[in-house]
Amino acid sequence: MLANILYITVLFLFLLSLMAIIYKRNLIKLVIALNIAESSVNLFFIVLAYKPESMAPIFTLAPAIEDLRMVLPAPQALILTNIVIGFATTALMLVLAVMTYGKNQTLDVRRLKGVEEHD
């Protein structure tokens, strides 16, 4: 149980964000929900790569080959990419939410009613 606490956290965060995406109606809160989902996936990658009592994967710090214990470098590079991508999507979504508010004076999806009532 205690060994799996991190995986349980990942699952909890993912389900929490899904619940928020389904039940929240404010455009800004949806952005927050997506950020939580992203964080849960990032945390999942970190947990996968982590090995207890191991070193950062830096070539010059590498110990002798017999006690070589390093964390996996690939997932760390990947989540750095994912954090940057998440930043881009968050920024774009917030800009679009602000523009939506400017044109419709509301952020509530129930009052935005889709886009069918044009001209």
Partner 1 sequence: MTEQIPIVIIVLPLIAAFLQPLMAFFSFKTRDAMIIALLLAVNVMLFYLIPPIALAGKTMYYTLGAADPRSFTPQGLDFPIRIVLKIDAFSLFTGIIVGIVTITTFLFSAGCVKNEESKKYFTTLFLLFTSGLLGMSFTNDLFNFFVFLEIASISGAALVAYDRRSKHSPYAAYKYILISTIATTFFLFGVALCYAQYGSFNIQYIHSVLKYSYLDKIALIFILLAMAMKAGAVPMHFWVPDTYSEAPAPVSAMLKVSGMVSLCAMFKFAFTLFGPSANGTGVNYQTLGWIIIVLGVLSMFIGVTMALIQHDVRRLMAFHAVSQTGYMLLGVGVGIAVMGGGESTAFKTFGKIAITGGIFHIMNNAFYKNLLFLTSGVMERRFGTRNLNSMIGMGHGDTLTTVVFMIGALAIAGIPPFNGFDSKLMIYESVYKFSPTLAIIAIFVSVMTLASFMKVFYSAFMGPGRDDLIVDKEPLTVTASTGLIVLAILIVAAGLFPGLVIDYIVQPAVEALTGIR
Which listed residue (78, 83, 108, 111) binds partner 1 by CB under 8 A? Answer: 78
What is the C-alpha to C-alpha distance for residues 49 and 37, in angstroms, rounded to an integer? Answer: 19
110-119 CB burial, b ≥16 within 10 A, e <16? eeeeeeeeee
Binding string, residues 50-69; x marks residues near partner 1 by CB under 8 A: --------------------
Q: How far is the CB of 106 from partner 1 (least distance, A)?
A: 10
In this structure, what token pair is assigned to residue 37?
A: 């989902």
Residue 13 interacts with partner 1 (CB under 8 A)?
no
Residue 118 interacts with partner 1 (CB under 8 A)?
yes
Q: How far is the CB of 33 from partner 1 (least distance, A)?
A: 9
What is the C-alpha to C-alpha distance for residues 63 and 89, in angstroms, rounded to an integer? Answer: 40
